[in-house]
Amino acid sequence: MKKLIAMLLALVMVVGLVACGNNAEAPEAAPEAAPEAAPEAAPEAAPEAAPEAPASTNPDDIADEMTSADGKYQVAFITDVGQLKDKSFNQGTYDGVKLYAAANGKSYKYYQPANGNEATDDDRIDAMKLACENGAEVVVAAGFMQEGALKAAAEAYPNVNFVFIDGYPIGFDNVAGIAFQEDQSGYLAGYATVMEGYTKLGFMGGGGGTNPACQRFGYGFLQGAEAAAAELGVKVEMNYSWAYGAAFSASPELQAMATGWYTNGTEVIFCCGGSMFQSVSAAASAEDGLVVGVDVDQSFESPAVITSAMKGLADATQWAIAKHYDGAWAEIGGTSTSLGAKDNAVGLPTATWSLTGWSIADYEALFAKIAAGEVEISSELVTAPESTANVTVNYVE
């Protein structure tokens, strides 16, 4: 995985993925449990149907929907809450599905559970069952809310392997939990924002304060801001809220709240929650405010984005799917793989950020220290953080 993650991340740097296009320029490193050689994924037998789209390094060039000759789809994706094209978590993960399938002659399909943001475990189970009945050999499920459905599907379809993105072990060898050290990415974003000279910050998170990934992003952001503030000898104020983000969706209420923050002096808001970005970026554009994007390089979505706290969704998804087709599933099945700076799986998009007060060289130096474990960053799941020595937190319910 060492070379694969680094290779894929470098590739995505060039194309600037929207949903998890890792443009982060970071030292090459590798996860401990990964093989030395990057896998050359190749099926044992030619698939009955191949994607209509040509192989590409740009997921936007690959159709979201395809038609297989036999009506079977080998690689399936089950969406999290929110839209498929959310310019964030769902889209970044599905980009990985499309990229792998197109490069390896696999048919693919996405499934959105019924009832949208109000989907239940039964809705997700139905989507997974449909995927398996439609010929899925690998099912990629995004988001921690998939746990209950995955348990039912993994038991019902023991010959299908399931990739649990933002997940963890759930007691089945055919489920691989793939997690990220979002606290590291959030730390880098918070540190960079304060080093850029901003001292009036905000954090708006999705999941109502119960989503582990968003919690790590937010608390990491606070820790990074504190470290930079201490280094510069400045004081920082930070609004911190989960309000209007439970469903990870855009809403007039969320936009109004962000507008109020900007009007009252907030300079930069770290928006962490899928389609919530649309509301916050709209408020930023109207009020001359700024935004830190999440999961992927969101600079292509709004000129208000100064940088993005990214994680390698597309890269990790391709890597995990390859484990199935390379016959190496036992390396990840039934266990949890957590990817971070040492794996080049988190970072900031230095090729597209608009920062001028903090250099790429300084970023790379800090990144290297984080990758080497020389910077202490807590991954504690914190909903309502307390103020620190240099950052005053205003928790808004």
Mean pLDDT by 10 residues, the chain (397 residues): 42 36 36 39 36 62 94 96 86 96 97 92 97 98 94 98 96 97 98 98 96 96 98 98 94 98 98 94 98 94 97 94 98 95 94 96 98 97 97 97
**Position 300, amino acid:** F
Instruction: Give the torsion sign (CA, 95, 98, 104, 108).
Output: positive
What confidence score (pLDDT) does residue 83 get?
87
Return d(Cα 362, Cα 366) in angstroms, integer. Answer: 6
> CA angle at residue 34 from 136 to 345, to 5 degrees?
80
SS3 at position 122: helix
Both tokens of residue 235? 């004081």
What confidence score (pLDDT) does residue 55 get?
54
Return d(Cα 166, Cα 4) in angstroms, integer. Answer: 19
Concatenated DSSP letters for 17-49? -SSS-----------TTS-SSPP----SS--SS
What confidence score (pLDDT) does residue 17 get?
35
What confidence score (pLDDT) does residue 56 get?
63
pTM of the entire structure? 0.79
SS3 at position 202: strand
